[in-house]
Structures are given as structure tokens and as C-alpha cells.
Amino acid sequence: MTNTMKAERLVILKPGREAPTMRRHPWIFSGSITMVQGNPGPGDLVAVYSAEGDQLAWGHYSPASQIRIRLFSWAQDIPDGPGFWRQRLQRAIGLRESLRRSSGTTAYRLVNAESDGIPGLIVDQYGDVIVIQLLTAGTDALRDTFADLLMEMIAPLTIYERSDVDVRGQEGLLPVAGLLRGVEPPPLVDITELGLTYRVDIRNGHKTGFYLDQRENRQRFRALAATQDQSAAPVMLNVFSYTGAFSVCGLAAGMARVVNIDASEDALALGQRNVAANGYDSSRITDIQADAFVALRKLRQQSERFDLIVLDPPKFASAQRDVQRASRGYKDINLQAFHLLKPGGTLTTFSCSGAISEDLFQKIVFGAALDAGRDIQITGRLSQGSDHPVALTFPEGAYLKGLTCRAVE
């Protein structure tokens, strides 16, 4: 047995359960553990050993969670202290350097949790404002360490915490939100993305305020919209529009009219401000505050048809057990969207449910096209942006998938 003496707290795996850890998967489930020594509490550092007594990895312990340990080091030496985390943050931030240098964008994800070697930590930058989420017992215990290091490394005006998310419940943690360092942020933080302006409500908005993961897909969409025949006054439908980021891209690319559908009045109102912030006339926008499942049917009855449709629903499946129900939901909205597509039009359709695979998603969309009686070609495959990388050791990190589907005339 090597290095046993180094670890005050350790966990021994059941015989034959070491393979995922040896392949560097960052999670150890409670069912894989045979013995826990040293009485680790929430967020404590533990060393992980195989049943044969080989030291395998280090991680944070979370007694309340089915994911009992989140691993972040496979080295022999103890991975601890600010020096270790400074290096990890530096590495993650460094990997975004080319994005920072590329012109016209001031908002990106700096740290993407497991896939950046810091399980449970999300760090998003919105100009001078940093927003963090601490999703696990391990990261919750390191709140001050991360806040101090980010102040030192990035010197933002503000570090704000948005750990008001349900998943913390699975770690036995309560929701937390509020100012961590610096000054209170303004009610809306202005960002630039690919040359367009957006106003972000970091206190109340979804995720940390904005769907940063869709940046590259917005860029693709904008390029697609720019190919539309402007003399024909092309019309766009943005379903689950949130604060209208895809709509602003459509307007920038010359769409004559944009229809937004969202259930949230606040999101639509902020969407209007985003249209104004970019200097577009609000008369080009129609907002429908409604349940998308109902609103889509209504548009069909009214014989509305669109050149471009974006379908970016919230997560329908949080776990494997939701997959069937979620699949029906995805099929229904895609079916309705295909009915609303003009010949030659393109539907850009997404799923952000990790439990729905790319393959299954394509099958669902196929089923929808078949039922709609439309002849559809896939012209593009989309995923989360490069600042939301997926470690090959952690395929669970891939959640966003999308297809661009052209209706053959």
C-alpha cells in the first residue's frame, strides 16, 4: 500500500469497482464504496483506494449525495491549498484566452466544472462582473478560496454568487445567492456578444443570467439568417425565446419580422430592451406570452408560416426516468414547428437534456417530420460552445445538442 499515511481521510472501493476511477471518471457513487475511514464531513478531502490497497485518486466527500465523491486529482501527492486551486483556475481561464482575444465578446464561461477539473464549480464572466455557482459540498466549502483567487487573478468589480439551484439539494445544501466580493452589480449588466449588445439580469436570470452556451449557435443562426432573401421580407419565430438573444441575431441579419414565444413576462420585457439596445425598431417584434405548446397550435390555426424557426426549450428531462415523457414533449413541439415552416425554411431545434442523447434527439425530430408530412434535410449539427468543453473522461458533460433542419420545397 502506497502513501496511506498521507491521507487523514480515506475511502476504499469495493472489489472490482475501480475501473471508472482508473479511467479518470470524476464521480464515485455511494454503492461503489466499501469502507470510509477518518469520518469525513461534507466537502472534506479524501484519498480513494482500490480494494487491493492502491491509491487511485483524490476528491471531495459529500455524505448526503449519491455521488459520494467528486474526484479532481489522480496524482500521488496531496492536492490541496490555494496553490492547487490557483493552478486549476489559471488553466481553465487560460483555455479561454483565444475567445477573450476574439473581438466583440465580453461574456463567456471561464470554468465549466468537472470538464475543467474543478467538479461543481461554474464561473461565468459578464464584463467586469463574475458570477459563480457552487454546486457541490466540496466547492461550497471552498467559497472563499475561489472568491479570493478570482479577485486576485481577474480583478473584477464584482463577484456574485448564484448558487440558488435545485441540484444543491442533492448535496444537502441550501440555495445561496448574493454578493461575494466587490461592489453590488447594477440591476442589468451590459455585455457584448459577437458585436451585439445584451442586458443581463444576473440576480434573477436563468442559469447565471444568460445562455452563454448558445453563443456559437447564435453565430451560426445569424449567418443562416443572413442568407435569406431580404426582398421577400423573411419572418422568424423564436420559441422559448427567453431574453430574445436569437431574435436580436435575426434582426441583425435582416429578418423583417420576429415573433417571440415565452411563458415569462419578465424575459420578454428584457427581450424588448435587448432589441432597443441594438437600435432595432420594436415594431419588427411580436411577443406572445404563453405556453409554447398552446401558442404553436394557435399560430398554425391562424395559418402563420415562417422562414426560420428556433426551438430552444428548457430541460424536459432531468434524469433517465423522464426520458419517455420528455421525448413526447420534444416530438410535439418539433411537429408543430414543422407545420409552421415555409417550404425551403429552416428549423433550428435544440435539446439541453443530458439524458436525451444526440441519437435519440435525431430520432424524435425524424418522428416529428414524418408526422408533419415534411421532407426534411439536416444541414447542420450544433452543440454547446467551446467555453463549455466536455472532458472526454466525462461524457455526462455534453448536454446541449441541436439540428438545423431544412424543409425541402
Residues with a known catalytic role: 352
Site string for ligand SAH, 17-46 (x = CB under 6 A): ------------------------------
Tell me the sheet residues that pair with 404.
348, 380
Residue 107 in the binding site for ligand SAH (CB under 6 A): no
Residue 161 in the binding site for ligand SAH (CB under 6 A): no
Strands 285-289 and 306-311: unpaired
To the nearest whole angstrom, how small is the minimum distance from the Cβ of residue 317 to ligand SAH? 14
Coil/strand/helix, residue 360: helix
Give the integer Cα–Cα distance in Å for 275 and 259.
13
Binds ligand SAH by CB under 6 A, chosen from 68, 312, 334, 385: 312
Helix (H) or strand (E) holding 36: strand 33-37
Going by C-alpha positions, the residue among 388, 320, 298, 373 that lies closest to residue 113 is 388
Coil/strand/helix, residue 244: coil
According to CB under 6 A, which residues from 177 to 206 bind ligand SAH? 206
Binds ligand SAH by CB under 6 A, chosen from 94, 169, 314, 344: 314
To the nearest whole angstrom, how small is the minimum distance from the Cβ of residue 315 to ligand SAH? 9
Give the residue with the Cβ less far from ligand SAH, 14 or 381: 381
To the nearest whole angstrom, how small is the minimum distance from the Cβ of residue 96 to ligand SAH? 20
To the nearest whole angstrom, how small is the minimum distance from the Cβ of residue 28 to ligand SAH? 32
Contact 90, 39 (CB under 8 A): no
Give the residue with the Cβ less far from ligand SAH, 7 or 311: 311
Give the integer Cα–Cα distance in Å for 36 and 47.
10
Site string for ligand SAH, 138-157 (x = CB under 6 A): --------------------
According to CB under 6 A, which residues from 264 to 293 bind ligand SAH? 264, 267, 291-292
∠177-179-185 over CA atoms, to 5°? 110
3-state helix, strand, coil in the chain (%, to 5): 35, 30, 35
Give the residue with the Cβ less far from ligand SAH, 67 or 299: 299
According to CB under 6 A, which residues from 228 to 267 bind ligand SAH? 240, 242-243, 245-246, 261-264, 267
Give the integer Cα–Cα distance in Å for 396 and 349.
21
Give the residue with the Cβ less far from ligand SAH, 77 or 265: 265
Give the integer Cα–Cα distance in Å for 330 and 338.
12
Give the residue with the Cβ less far from ligand SAH, 206 or 297: 206
Coil/strand/helix, residue 164: coil
Give the residue with the Cβ less far from ligand SAH, 44 or 312: 312
Q: Which amino acid is at 327?
A: S
Residue 214 in the binding site for ligand SAH (CB under 6 A): yes
